[in-house]
Amino acid sequence: MTRPPEDGVGEPADELGRLRTQIDELDRALTAIRAGDVDAVVLAGPHGHQLYTLVSADRPYRVIVEEMGDGAVTVSERGIVLYANQRLADLVGADRAALLGREVTELVHASTANTLLSLLATTAPGTTHQEELELVHAEGSTVPVLASVTGLDIEGVIVRCLILADLTDRRRGEEELAGAYAELSRSAHELEEAQRIGRIGSWFWNAATDEVSWSAQMFRIFGIDPTSSGTTFRRALAASFHPEDATLATTARDRAFADRRPFVVEQRIVHADGDVRQTVTRGEVVSDAEGAAAGIRGTTQDVTEQRRAVTAVLEARAALMRQTMELAEEHRIKESLQRAVLPARLPSVAGVELAARYLPADMPSLVGGDWYDAFCLPDGSLAVATGDVVGHDLEAAATMGQVRNALRAYAFSDDRPAEVLARLNRLITGLGDTGLATALFGCIDPAQRMFRWACGGHPPPLLIGASGVRLLSGPAGVMLGAFPAARYADAHTAVEPGDLLVLYTDGLIERRDRDLDDGFAALARAAGDLGGQPAETVCATLMDRLLPDQEHEDDVCLLVLRVLPADIPRPYTAAIPGSRTGPMPGAPETEAGRATTTPGYGSW
């Protein structure tokens, strides 16, 4: 490259040296040109750098490409940039003059450099080839381009002209199109899945061609091979309708064309395996631009499972209603039977006051075998009993009647309470129905002030006296019906005037959410302030406190006996329904500071 002398005149010796240097440089350049090692010469002058190629015939080409919207570059046979238009300089973000003399592969991303070299090598004069490349912008980003390379032979000099079309907008458009297509495909897939899950298919009937277009789900609903078409499809479609419903769709279509109103038709579809499906078809007329009817579009839904579910619900509801009515009737019968075998009136005995309650279980199916009894014995003493036959059915209620009547019969034989329970146990085991029962039986002679009793697996009596409240303890006794040879023992408890004896069944104290000892403690607390109260008051108060307006899952029997002081006349006593005045305030503990409880039934 030669440079003009700088403005001003220096020393003669310096000027001479500078000229000699320029001559040497020009000599080396000429030598290189003659040897074919130089493609072009770039000279620096007062108007900037100028490129001089060895052939001037490409000047018309430059005039054309200078105004092109695409990048253009001319490279030598060895890939050196001889010319670049302004558009190319803009694409790579570089000064146009700085591109001259660079290797063309420096303009592209390393990943496409070999592609460009191959493209240049294979493009002979007179041919054109294309490849997509990635230009590298000065800021580091890449610019996709379509490179069209044409080989030229200009008076024996081989050059390649590259036209580089910016593909950025096209790539963006392709990405948007691909995204739109993916979204459309996803939507179509979701629609198909929704139709499959909902068992809904869509269709369109073209009035002009009499052709029907179906979604994939329609073929599943009708049980038709999705690959069938033409005559095969029409035959399969005609054969799929239930004979009684074959004309419904055609009739609905003709009516819709006449009145232009949507329609709904229910049809039965018969699959090849004989399975009958219930379908609901909805359709509406589609008009063309002129308003003429072009066809009908609609949906068909397989509602077989819904209809079967509705039928099952109706059948279950009817069965539940029948069962409820049967249970209510059974409850009425059991309660009537139970009340029939319970004493209609409590006995009147000198020196004793009696009160009783019976409450059936809230649930109709749980009325069981709870019972109580009170009657006078030939010796003038008073017999009292409570019991519970295991079970909550008519059989339990019937067994309860047998047990109560048998106990009365055995009690009149003048046997001790323990022997009465032993005989009752042998009776129950002898029935052979594996029934079980609990019972507490006792006798009291007010004149002797002694309560003699025996227990067979039943909750112990509660004594409310002047000294406080306590559960009576006695010899253990197994449930009736468990062992034929079971033995029972008597217990004796002295009573004083004003004392109260409380006999009850487990429904009064047992709860699912607490253990049995807690139930006994609750009973003692409820009775803590009832000492000296009338039997009726004690009976009503205990029921209200222990069953305060809540559901009870078991029958409840309560029998209260009060020993009257000598100066109090004997009142009239009778069994009455339990009061429901709500819970009363908590009762104080016994005089010992706590309610007296006993372990489970087996330790009494």
Is this model's pTM higher than 0.85 or not? no
Q: What's the pLDDT at 26? A: 73
Architecture of domain 200-302: 2-Layer Sandwich (3.30)
Q: Which two tokens stand for residue 220?
A: 């599943």
Q: What's the pLDDT at 66? A: 75
A 10 A CB-CB count for 438 gives 24
What is the CATH superfamily name and number for domain 39-166? PAS domain (3.30.450.20)
Q: Which two tokens stand for residue 91?
A: 């694409």
Q: E strands along 239-315, which residues?
A: 263-270, 276-287, 293-302
Q: What's the pLDDT at 577? A: 44
Q: What's the pLDDT at 157? A: 76
Is 460 buried (19+), middle (13-18) or exposed (0-12) by CB count in 10 A?
buried
What average pLDDT score do residues 297-317 get? Answer: 87
- Give residue 11's pLDDT band: very low, low, confident or very high (50, 70, 90): low
pLDDT above 60 for 602:
no
Report the percent of the chain where pLDDT is more than 70: 79
Radius of gyration in angstroms for the set of CA atoms belonging to the chain, rounded to a whole number: 56
Q: What's the pLDDT at 128? A: 93
What average pLDDT score do residues 230-245 get? Answer: 86
Domain extent listing, the chain: 39-166, 200-302, 341-596
pLDDT averaged over the chain? 81
Q: What's the pLDDT at 342? A: 72
Cβ atoms of residues 532 and 568 within 8 Å: no
What average pLDDT score do residues 379-408 get? Answer: 84
Q: How far apart are CA 270 and CA 432, in angstroms?
A: 58
Tens of pLDDT, residue by residue over 445-487, are: 888 889 999 999 999 999 999 999 999 998 879 999 988 899 9
Q: What's the pLDDT at 425? A: 94
What average pLDDT score do residues 283-310 get? Answer: 87
Q: How far apart are CA 287 and CA 109, in angstroms?
A: 56
Is it true that 39-166 and 341-596 share their CATH fold? no
Q: Is 515 helix (H, G, I), strand (E, B) or coil?
A: coil
Which of residues 172 and 65 earns the better pLDDT score? 172
Which of residues 594 and 265 earns the better pLDDT score? 265
Question: Treating both helix axes as pointing N-terminal to C-terminal, what angle do 394-411 and 417-430 enclose, rounded to 10 degrees?
Answer: 140
Report the percent of the chain where pLDDT is more than 90: 34
**Contact partners, residue 2, CB within 8 Å, separation at least 6:** 22, 25, 26, 43, 44
Among the ranges given (37-46, 51-60, 460-469, 555-564), the one the predictor scored with the smallest mean pLDDT: 51-60
Tens of pLDDT, residue by residue over 561-593, are: 999 987 665 544 444 444 333 333 333 333 333
pLDDT above 90 for 542:
yes
Among candidate residues 115, 519, 195, 578, the one with its CA nearest the CA of residue 357: 578
Q: Give the HSE-up count for residue 55: Cα atoms under 13 Å, Cβ half-sphere.
A: 20
Which of residues 487 and 238 earns the better pLDDT score? 487
pLDDT above 90 for 30:
no
Tens of pLDDT, residue by residue over 326-346, are: 777 766 665 666 565 577 789
pLDDT above 90 for 361:
no
Q: How far apart are CA 360 and CA 377, in angstroms?
A: 29
Q: How far apart are CA 179 and CA 169, in angstroms?
A: 15
Tens of pLDDT, residue by residue over 80-139, are: 998 899 999 999 999 988 999 899 999 999 999 999 999 999 989 999 999 999 999 999
CATH dotted code for 341-596 = 3.60.40.10
A 10 A CB-CB count for 496 gives 12
Tens of pLDDT, residue by residue over 504-532, are: 999 999 888 889 999 999 999 999 999 99
Q: How far apart are CA 97 and CA 47, in angstroms?
A: 12
What average pLDDT score do residues 592-601 get? Answer: 32
Among the ranges given (37-51, 271-285, 310-324), the one the predictor scored with the smallest mean pLDDT: 37-51
